[in-house]
Amino acid sequence: MKLNWKLLLGASAIALYSMTGIASAQDCPRGDLDERFCDVDGDLLADTPTDPADQIDPDTLIFAYTPVEDPAVYKEAWSDFLEHLEEATGKDVVFFPVQNNAAQIEAMRSGRLHIAGFNTGSNPLAVNCAGFNPFTIMASKDGNFGYEMEIITYPGSGIESVDDIKGKQLAFTSPTSNSGFKAPSAILKSDFDLIPERDFEAVFSGKHDNSILGVANKDYPAASIANSVKSRMISRDVIKPEDVVTIYKSQTFPTTGFGVVYNLKPELKDAIRDAFFSFEWEGTTLEAEFSKSNEGQFLPMTYKEFWEVIRKIDAANGVSYACE
């Protein structure tokens, strides 16, 4: 499957701005990266441009968190961290509420987004098409991290196992989501011989909270979701635990990856990175929200290592990171 992120924006897609520092194939290796990027050090990420003229140092930094739930909830949740980021960088920082994964990728690719948390499935697209350089994920205080994909239904739906989805409807979130589409597609095909349209009706809800609420309200008979989102919704009393039933739980996947756009000045990149790892969670708005899914620190990581399983899932689904 050729997953073209640009097409996900639909007919109203915003024209992309040209970006500086485009390198020819003769100048640099790039692997799966878009032709505008280089990867000389082999870490699978776009390198910082070597020419200082191609590096950016914006007066105002734009931050966006993956649109897994209502952006209004997370503007408040991130407020204390963004104040810390302003102090660490000496710059104004603005929270940018994005409505879908493709719009978030487009914003970084076009130069309108500098710091972001991209969801698990969007990370490879953001890395290869937008020059995203992730370096950290959230983890529990004891260092555990990740989430599982669950397929859920509601009590009395008549669906008691994955095989019972055949002939019914299953809600995905969006094509760029790992737990909301990529992982369940690969697992349903390889482990259960269930293929969308042939064996069940596939619909897209747009976001994990939409899918979870849709099942709880009996709008969807089943849905594939990230259980970290479900946990936070239960903690906020958006749904009750007994509203949904889990019929499948996957292996653990890495959660949202946080990082910066590739062409920030190196000293600014370092200041932002340091801000993530020096942030004190206790008593903050970030802790108040993310402790609901047992997260309490930023853990250093590498895209090459931590996202290997996600790239394998994409390969199993025939996904290529087409940027145009």
Look over the chain and give the mean of its residue pLDDT values, rounded to a whole number. Answer: 90
pLDDT at residue 67 in the model: 85
pLDDT at 1 over 90: no
Q: What is the DSSP letter of 238?
A: S
Spatial contact of 278 and 271, defined as CB atoms under 8 Å apart: no
Task: Provide the CATH number for the domain formed by 147-253 in this structure.
Answer: 3.40.190.10
C-alpha 214/C-alpha 117 separation (Å) is: 25
Q: What share of the chain is helix, strand, coil (3-state, %, to 5)?
A: 35, 20, 40
pLDDT at 2 over 60: no
pLDDT in tens, 103-150: 999 999 999 999 999 999 999 999 999 999 999 999 999 999 999 999
* 2-143+255-322 and 147-253 agree in CATH topology: yes
pLDDT mean over 317-321: 84
Spatial contact of 205 and 169, defined as CB atoms under 8 Å apart: no
The one-letter amino acid at 279:
F
**End-to-end Cα separation, the chain, in angstroms:** 15
Burial class (CB in 10 A: 0-12, 13-18, 19+), 262: buried
Spatial contact of 107 and 96, defined as CB atoms under 8 Å apart: yes
Give this prediction's pTM: 0.79
Task: Provide the CATH number for the domain formed by 2-143+255-322 in this structure.
Answer: 3.40.190.10
pLDDT in tens, 177-202: 999 999 999 999 999 999 999 999 99
pLDDT in tens, 227-267: 999 999 999 999 999 999 999 999 999 999 999 999 999 99
Where in the chain are the domains? 2-143+255-322, 147-253
pLDDT at residue 18 in the model: 36
pLDDT at 20 over 60: no
Picking from 110, 156, 152, the residue whose alpha carbon sits closest to that of residue 129 is: 110
More confident residue, 104 or 176: 104
Picking from 256, 238, 284, the residue whose alpha carbon sits closest to that of residue 179 is: 256
